[in-house]
Amino acid sequence: MLKGKHIILGITGGIAAYKSVVLLRLFVKAGAEIQVVITPSGKEFITPVTLSALSGKPVISEFFTANTGQWNSHVDIGLWADAMVIAPATASTIGKMANGIADNMLVTTYLSAKAPVFVAPAMDLDMMAHPTTTRNIEQLRADGCHIIEPGTGELASHLTGKGRMAEPEDILAEIERFFYNNKSLEGKKILITAGPTVERIDPVRFISNFSTGKMGYALADEASRRGAEVTIVSGPVDISPSERNIKVINVESARDMLSECEKAFPDCDIAVMCAAVADYAPKETAEKKIKRENSDRMQIELVKNPDISATLGRLKKENQLLIGFALETDNETENALRKIKNKNLDLIVLNSLNDEGAGFGKDTNKITIITAKDDIQSFPTKSKREVAVDILDFIETKLHPQ
């Protein structure tokens, strides 16, 4: 899909630079012509020999090539490129780009490039969360860069948090989509529920679950890239969409989520129920913090939450599609088919807790799609971003949204 495209691959000095080799391979395999530009500290992590062998071009790092004195023109490279991809982008390079500090070949080339620029940040969680980094990334967004969000997981420091560079396959997918320019959902309105719900017991305690919202937000991003007008009704999560035009309505409880969905649904073409809605909520929420009693037991009376997907299933019109998710531990297919019927769904995405790599908090998922017409398709473990692509491809080709 990238046949003949000229791509500058910018590599900076972070541990994730080893993944740039894989990204370079993927780009070359996809038919792109790659010019690597690496910062001096990038070379501490990965050698130019590997990169030039794989790209088939000398790697550029300095303004002048030392032994010949040849000037490397950042202007020419900038104009040659159809895209510039900086992966990994360290906090330092992001800061320099945001502020025009052109003290190396990579940032100078960035300032000369007229092509779209993709930035895949990678750093330790505290650097990632620092207001300086947040500010600089926002500045790059405002300057028109495409930020390829880092994932959450174990970092080189052995700490766990947000800062892992997006996987090379995901970066490739993002660039391919950019050139492919698939606007197949243009004009469609999509409602997505995501994250957990939080059911208050008192002002400081609640019932909830481990859902992080990653799958719902990945779907929202992919639908938005395809041109859809997307609204997420989201329980409390720590993430935000990567795409700019997505509307997020934040809610806490299942009842709040239902009321927002009821408002948005009549106007929608497709609704995807990705949220992990708590099945029960405390009958009453205490106004003041409940005090510990002398008794060894305490009881909270729970009442059933409304089923949002089933409610929308009852409201659903001919031209609307309703998609559900199911997390099952046993009799998976049978239970999924029952839910399709009971909730009047068109399709259910089954992720099984029996599968490694599927489920809450992970960056990957392994799904089986089952339709109301008993069409079943299983997919291998993939990143949630790729799973979102599979789900939307399936919906578009098999259900033909009207």
Q: Of the candidates 58, 38, 42, 163, which has an alpha carbon nearest to the alpha carbon of residue 107?
A: 38
Q: Is 216 in the site for ligand C5P (CB under 6 A)?
A: no
CA-to-CA distance for 175 and 181, rounded, in angstroms?
Answer: 10
Q: Which of residues 332-371 bind ligand C5P (CB under 6 A)?
A: 339
Which amino acid, residue 202?
D
Q: Which contiguous run of DSSP H or E holds residue 118? A: strand 117-121
Among positions 273-302, residues that touch ligand C5P (CB under 6 A) are 273-275, 277
Binding test (CB under 6 A) with ligand C5P, winner from 39, 309, 320, 351: 309
d(CA 204, CA 265): 32
Q: For residue 167, state whether it binds ligand C5P (rule: CB under 6 A).
A: no
Contact (CB, 8 A) for 139 and 100: no
Choose the binding region for ligand C5P from 67-75, 241-249, 268-276, 379-387 (rule: CB under 6 A): 268-276
Q: To the nearest 10°, the Cα dihedral for 178, 184, 190, 195? A: -40
- Beta-carbon contacts of residue 337 (< 8 Å; ≥ 6 apart): 370, 374
Residue 17 vs 277, nearer CB to ligand C5P? 277
Binding of ligand C5P at residue 325 (CB under 6 A)? Answer: yes
Q: Which of 61, 108, 253, 305 contacts ligand C5P by CB under 6 A?
A: 305
| Site membership for ligand C5P, residue 211 (CB under 6 A) | no
- Nearest residue (CB) to ligand C5P, 124 versus 307: 307
Cβ proximity to ligand C5P, 279 vs 396, nearer residue:
279
313 binding ligand C5P? (CB under 6 A): no
Rounded distance, CA 252 to CA 260, Å?
11
Stretch that binds ligand C5P, among 35-43, 81-89, 270-278, 353-361 (CB under 6 A): 270-278
Q: Which of the residues 168 through 197 are near ligand C5P (CB under 6 A)?
A: 193
Choice between 97 and 275, CB closer to ligand C5P: 275
Question: Which of these ranges, 114-122, 156-164, 220-228, 321-329, lies near ligand C5P under the rule CB under 6 A?
Answer: 321-329
Of these residues, 72, 181, 209, 245, which one is catalytic?
209
Cα gap 314→321, rounded to integer Å: 12
CB of 134 or CB of 342, closer to ligand C5P: 342
Q: Toward ligand C5P, which CB reaches closer, 254 or 264? A: 254
The answer to whether 316 contacts ligand C5P (rule: CB under 6 A) is no
Q: Identify the three-state secondary structure at position 298.
A: coil
| Residue 9 or 237 having the CB closest to ligand C5P | 237
In the complex, least distance from residue 220 CB atom to ligand C5P, rounded to whole angstroms: 14
Binds ligand C5P (CB under 6 A): choice among 254, 270, 271, 389: 254
Q: What number of other Cβ atoms are within 10 A of residue 251's Cβ? A: 21
| Number of residues written out for the chain | 402
Measured between alpha carbons, how far is 374 from 77 in angstroms, rounded to an integer? 53
Q: Prior bond to 48 cis, omega within 30?
A: no
Strand segments, DSSP code E, in 179-314 are: 189-194, 199-202, 205-207, 229-234, 247-250, 270-273, 280-282, 302-304
Asked whether position 118 contacts ligand C5P by CB under 6 A, the answer is no
Sheet holding 6-11, edge to edge: 33-38, 6-11, 83-89, 117-121, 146-147
Answer yes or no: 209 catalytic. Answer: yes
33 touching ligand C5P, by CB under 6 A: no
Binding site for ligand C5P (CB under 6 A): 193, 254, 273-275, 277, 305, 307-309, 324-326, 339
Active site residues: 209
